[in-house]
Structure formats: C-alpha cells, structure tokens
Amino acid sequence: MDVEKIWKESEWPTHARQIIKGLKKFPEDSKIILILRHSHRDEPNNFEGLIKLRLTQEGHAIARKFGQELPKDRPIRLFHSIVWRCQETAQDILSGFESIDGKCKMKGPFTPLFNLETSRDFFPNQLKTYNVHQFFYRWVAGLYPPDEITPLQKFSQKAAELIWREFQRAPERNIDIHITHDFFVIALKFGWFGIPPDKKWISYLGGFAFTFVDDNIWLFDSDELISLETPYWWKKS
C-alpha cells in the first residue's frame, strides 16, 4: 500500500489534508477543539450492520498518517465514540503522533460522541424510509417525539457543556480531538453554528475545528477560517 500516494492524491482524505493545513491558521497560543469523523470503513450491506463495521486497512494507514501530520509542538488529547471504528481511528492517530515524538493522551469513550438516547433500531428504521439528509432535517425540525430521539437543541447544548468542561482542563496550546460519526459532526456544526450539511456530506477524517478568540468563535470549516458569534447559551465561565 502506497500510503503517501493515497494521502496526497486520493479524494476521500481531502478534508483530512485541509484540516491539517487549517490547524496552522489558528493563533499559536490558542487551544483548539477538533470534531472529526472516523477513518475509512467498508460500505454496509444494510443499516442494521453499520454499527459493527471496522476500519479498512487503508483507513488504519491514513489515520496513522493523519497523526503524523498533526502539529508536533501542540499536545493532543483524544476522545472517541464507543463504536469500534472510532476507537480504532483514535488509536491509529495516537500511534502516528507518537511516532513523531508528539505528546498525546488517550481519554477514551465520551458520551456526546454517540448518544442521542434512541432505541437500537431507531436509525435503521428511519433510514429505510428517508435518506440521511431528509432524516436530518426532519430531526432538526422537531418532527420526532423527544422520547424517541433527543432534540437537536438539547443535544447540541449538552454536548457543548461536556466538551467545554473537558476543554477547560486541557493544557495550553492543546488540541482536543473528538472522533465521532458523520451524523454527529453535521449535527454539532448545525446546532452550534447554524451551518447546514454540505451536499457532499462529511468524508472520512473530515470535520471542523474551532477556538475562542475574545468574544467570538474562530471556525475552520470547508477549507477556510471564519469568525462567528458565540451562541448565547455557551457559557465559558
């Protein structure tokens, strides 16, 4: 396997390459939060089997490469969803970062990265009827009872609270990497910043990064760094 060729020329790691470049655009003394989709996996035969899918060999290799490309002069902490492919991605990033003598700490499973308080069959059943975009906007619009799935506003605010609590404990210049799933990446980006999902969705190892500068958020998304208002409910004290 030619890892360098896949990293530099394949289409699916494009967002990952952009993120690596984007991290260099943040102020040197800032702490950064990175919300990241897991690495490359096989395509499921059915939605019921999706949760069990692991990384491909290519997915392992490029996750390690991603770790090797992270800024060596920043400490890193890794959080991940309970699903195996997210844990594998975190372990591979850790391995890659440590191979360049980076300082990294594995923090382990983290509730906001895979918990919408749904039944096991809720997602598969919905995706038999709606495509993922349709399902997402039905959820955002509040068309599901809260006892079937946590509403977006409640989920995004609770996730912000938990992620911020951990972020405050991070060392200076740290990057907190939260490895999750495409649906959670777009949900947090929409719930926190009002940015809807792209038609191209979120690629493997794609996501967004942000930090706080004065009273604003600096967000790196879609290959650009932009300044946004901090949501009124995001308490930074």
Report DSSP letters for 90-125, one per residue. HHHHHHHHHHTT--EEEEEE-GGGS-----TTHHHH
Q: What is the pLDDT of residue 237?
A: 45
Domain assignments of the chain as residue spans, ordered by start: 3-176+183-229
Q: What is the pLDDT of residue 48?
A: 57
Q: What is the pLDDT of residue 185?
A: 95
User: Residue 49: which pLDDT band, with cuts at 50, 70 and 90?
Assistant: low
Residues 214-235 have pLDDT tens digits of: 889 999 998 899 999 999 888 6
Whether this prediction's pTM lies above 0.75 is answered by yes
Better-scored residue on pLDDT, 198 or 131: 131
User: Residue 139: which pLDDT band, with cuts at 50, 70 and 90?
Assistant: very high
The CA distance from 136 to 203, in Å, is 17
User: What is the mean pLDDT of the segment spanning 175-200?
Assistant: 92
- Counting residues of the chain whose pLDDT is more than 90, the rounded percentage is 76
Better-scored residue on pLDDT, 124 or 159: 159
Residues 109-129 have pLDDT tens digits of: 998 888 888 877 888 888 889
Q: What is the pLDDT of residue 53?
A: 81
CATH domain 3-176+183-229 topology: Rossmann fold (3.40.50)
Q: What are the angstrom distances between the C-alpha of 209 and each of 78, 117, 118, 129? A: 14, 26, 27, 33
Running DSSP on this structure, what letter comes out for residue 55? Answer: B
Report DSSP letters for 180-216, one per residue. E-HHHHHHHHHHHH-PPPPTT---TT-EEEEEEETTE
Q: What is the pLDDT of residue 21?
A: 96
